[in-house]
Structures are given as structure tokens and as C-alpha cells.
Amino acid sequence: MKKKDRQQKVVDEVSINRQVSSSFLSEKLNVSEDTIRRDIKELDKKGLLTKVHGGAISTMQKLYHYNEDVIYKREEKVLIAKKAITLVEDGMVIIMSGGTTNLMLAKLLPKNLKATIYTYSLPIAMQLAEHPTVETIFIGGRIQRNSMVTTGIDVIQYLSNITANLCFIGVSGFSLEQGITGEGYEVALVKKAMISSSERNVYLSTSNKLNIRLNYDICSLKEIDIAITDLDVQDPILKPYVDAGVMLI
């Protein structure tokens, strides 16, 4: 039997029986216990069952598998996320916009962090839902297909009733002339509303977004509380921004 078919049967058996042992599966599927142990290890990693001593138990299955490997400039985003985490404290109310840098931040939050996080992005919410102690609140509204976020007056109105301690904005365009800019008009409106509803705003920008001007204004240079990039603060590329008064990490 093919590995894939066998693993399917492993998952089915665990769904039916709630708990199975490696030796039971080994006999049932006619392969060695070591093969079953490897299967269980791999399926646990994929979130399809939970490995326990001697076998596996049923789990809330993760229907979606997070293709993190293919995120463009993944290492840079990990670096930015780690810098951003230093600003997060227990008890905070946080707003998060969308994008893959924020997704990485959501993934890397400390597993004991107790905070409330508002977001309008489906992938961010999916990721935050896996966090054991963060309370995730999704801002409802019409889903914009390409960006997987909600937009519209419902979102902006909802945001006007919140005051967040901290807000993380994923950045698409960042330039000296224009400050933070973005691509979609409706997303720009929502990001502006997020910014207005927060005490402190943090802009997450990979270096390839620097010196890029897009079509819609989000925030001027002077209004930036903190900006985080993957570059070292002493990097010459950042010097004009530092000289212009931007608080950079």
C-alpha cells in the first residue's frame, strides 16, 4: 500500500476510535511499528492527530496547512516579528492588519501571552486561533477576495468603538516623500481607521518596500510612532529615514 493511502487510513482509524496504539495499527495495516511511528509523527506535525505515548489520539483536525516555507523574504519577516514582539505585553489590546509579516508575528507570539487581538484578516485570525491564551476578535464585514480581509463601513465603524494599546500595520509602500502608502483604496481606509483607534502604531516593513510609493496614502512620515524593518538601524539605507525623525527599530 502507498504511504499516502496508509496515512489516510491511520487518520480514519483515529477518527473512528478516538485513540489507537501503534501496535494495533501496525497489525491492522500490515506494516512495522516503526513505520506507524513515523506516520504518527508526521501526521501530528501536520495537525491531523495528536501523538501520545504508545499511539495517537483524535484531535481537532487542522483542515488548512500553512505554507510558510514559500513566504517571500521569510527570514526577514521572522526578524521583524521578533523585534515587534519586544513591544507586546500581557493585558494589551492589540490591532493587527493583514499581510505575511503580520502573519509571521501572529505565529511567533509567546505561547503564554495574554492579550486581546483584533484583526480583519482571515489568515491572521486562523493563525491566532491556534494560540492557547490570546483572545482573538474578528472584525466582520465583506471579504475582499484577493487580500482575504474585510473592508467597508462596518469595519471602520466597529474600529471607531475601540481604543487599542498597540497596532501593527503591515506595510506595502514606505518612502520619504509620502510616508506609508498602500495599494487598495478600501484597505487604505481601514488601515487609517486602525491607526486612529490605537494609542501607538507600529509599521512592519521589509526592506524591499522602502523607497516605494504606492497609490493611496495611509500615514505621513511624521505620524509614524515606530517603524520596524529587517535592516540594522545603522544601515545606510535607513539613514535618510532616521534623519527625517522616524523612530526605527
Residues from 61 through 80 that contact its own copies (CB under 8 A): 61-72
The CB-of-32 to DNA minimum distance in angstroms stands at 3
Quick check: 13 binds DNA (CB under 7 A)? no
- Report yes or no: 197 and 162 within 8 Å, Cβ to Cβ: yes
End-to-end Cα, the chain, rounded Å: 54
Closer to DNA by Cβ: residue 53 or 145: 53
- Report yes or no: 88 and 108 within 8 Å, Cβ to Cβ: no
Rule CB under 7 A: choose which of 23, 133, 163, 215 binds DNA.
Answer: 23
- Report yes or no: 208 and 175 within 8 Å, Cβ to Cβ: no
d(CA 106, CA 34): 35
CB atoms within 10 A of CB 70: 7
Rule CB under 7 A: choose which of 12, 27, 28, 34 binds DNA.
Answer: 34
Closer to its own copies by Cβ: residue 120 or 241: 120
Residues from 108 through 127 that contact its own copies (CB under 8 A): 122-123, 125-126
Stretch that binds DNA, among 34-42, 165-173, 191-199, 200-208 (CB under 7 A): 34-42
The CB-of-130 to its own copies minimum distance in angstroms stands at 8
Q: Is 105 left (phi over 0), alpha (psi -120 to 50) or beta?
A: alpha
| In 152-213, alpha helices (H) | 153-159, 185-196
Write the binding mask 129 to 158 for its own copies: x where contact by CB under 8 A, - elsewhere. xx-x--xxxxxxxxx-xxxx-x---x---x
SS3 state at 182 = strand
Helix axes 3-17, 22-29, angle to 10 degrees: 130
**151's grid cell:** 473592508
The CB-of-225 to its own copies minimum distance in angstroms stands at 26
Helix axes 22-29, 33-45, angle to 10 degrees: 110
Count of residues binding DNA (CB under 7 A)? Answer: 20
Residues from 77 through 96 that contact its own copies (CB under 8 A): none
Q: Could you tell me which of 170, 204, 174 has the C-alpha nearest to residue 187?
A: 170
Rule CB under 7 A: choose which of 9, 19, 37, 137 binds DNA.
Answer: 37
Say if residue 148 is exposed, middle or buried (CB neighbours under 10 Å; 0-12, 13-18, 19+): middle
| Residues engaged in binding its own copies (CB under 8 A) | 4, 8, 11-12, 15, 46, 48, 60-72, 100, 103, 122-123, 125-126, 128-130, 132, 135-143, 145-148, 150, 154, 158
| Residues engaged in binding DNA (CB under 7 A) | 2-4, 6, 21-23, 31-35, 37-39, 41, 52-55
